[in-house]
A and B are shown apart, each in its own frame.
Chain A
Amino acid sequence: QSVLTQPPSVSAAPGQKVTVSCSGSSSNIGNNYVSWYQQLPGTAPKLLIYENNQRPSGIPDRFSGSKSGTSATLGITGLQTGDEADYYCGTWDSRLSVVIFGGGTKLTVL
């Protein structure tokens, strides 16, 4: 069981918007920065968001990140079937001295 809690699955129709939550505590999300990763089936994870809300070059602005208190959220607008993937949040835990990831959320585009 991960220190960071994500919903196991979310779903929405093509063209719609979906959010993925990542809940932690003051020792991780509350005082550190969050990154988000997309893992398409059979591939390695890929960075989507870093430093809570920054997008690497090449990541479309349909993807956004935010943080409030001890929770972070990934938002995806204009859903496409190609967005079907597992999504992971990650951060540093200052108490455990470890990089931690959420358990992952499977996105289904109906």
Chain B
Amino acid sequence: QLQLQESGPGLVKPSETLSLTCTVSGGSISSSSYFWGWIRQPPGKGVEWIGSIYYSGTTYYNPSLKSRLTMSVDTSKNQFSLKLSSVTAADTAVYYCATVTQVRMGLNWFDPWGQGTLVTVSS
């Protein structure tokens, strides 16, 4: 069964770039069955979709983050990554990676999720 694990710095300075990697085990990131997604959750708040990527590089980004967001896939390492530029304190959150089953636009779900990693934006 698929397992996902996030990794990256826990502290990022304001105006810098947040970079996270998700390592997939138990299956291939090149599977045609899945997209790969990022979701975040500010402390004490609800969850927010960041974006999703297919192994071929096709991406879907949250329009509210699109100008600052870059997602990529490294099939040789079975990993996918997130870069969010020009961060502020509002980007402080637990960041989760997840497997996305997307049958078609409008029919998708997130399962499983990684355990999450807290990223704090502070000087």
Contact = CB atoms under 8 A, between A and B. Distances in A.
Interface residues of B, number: 24
At the interface, is chain B mostly helix, strand, loop or mixed?
Answer: strand
Contact of A90 (B105, B110, B112): B110
B65 to A, nearest CB: 10
Interface in A96-110: 96-104
B63 A44 contact: no
A63 interface: no
Contacts of B63: 96-98
Contacts, number: 69
B90 interface: no
Nearest to A103: B46
A51 B105 CA distance: 12
19 contacts: A33-B106, A33-B107, A33-B108, A35-B108, A37-B47, A44-B113, A45-B113, A50-B101, A51-B107, A56-B111, A88-B46, A90-B110, A92-B108, A96-B63, A97-B63, A98-B63, A99-B62, A100-B49, A101-B46
Interface of B: 39, 46-49, 52, 60, 62-64, 96, 101, 105-116
